[in-house]
Amino acid sequence: MPFTAQERKELTAIKGIGDTFVNRLEQMGFDSVDKLAEASVDFILLAGSQITKSSCYKNSPQARKATEEAIYWVEEKMKPL
């Protein structure tokens, strides 16, 4: 199940995260807050390089920053109120 419209809106509002990045997360199986919360930056970058068939993805500073920001977003979202 893909991210909700609201979750997608929140993610793409983060600098460096666009629709393509969110689509890739969903392709990798990280299609919910709970699933993304269980992932590590390095695992997501490795999975991204496999999907794109390019080692450049896992070595990309932009991809790393976007992934770190997405995980930070999840951590903040999951904090108890």
pLDDT-derived band of residue 80, with 50, 70 and 90 as boundaries? confident
pTM score, whole prediction: 0.91
Q: 81 pLDDT exceeds 90?
A: no
pLDDT tens string 3-53: 999 999 999 999 999 999 999 999 999 999 999 999 999 999 999 999 999
- The answer to whether residues 51 and 27 touch, using CB atoms and an 8 Å cutoff, is yes
Residue 73 CA to residue 61 CA, distance in Å, equals 18
Domains and their CATH numbers in the chain:
5-78 (1.10.150)
Q: What is the mean pLDDT of residues 48-74?
A: 95
Furthest-apart CA atoms within the chain: distance in Å: 40
Tokens of 77: 């979202």
Find the helix packing angle between 19-27 and 61-78, rounded to 10°: 80
| Residue showing tokens 């992934």 | 67
Residue 15 CA to residue 11 CA, distance in Å, equals 9
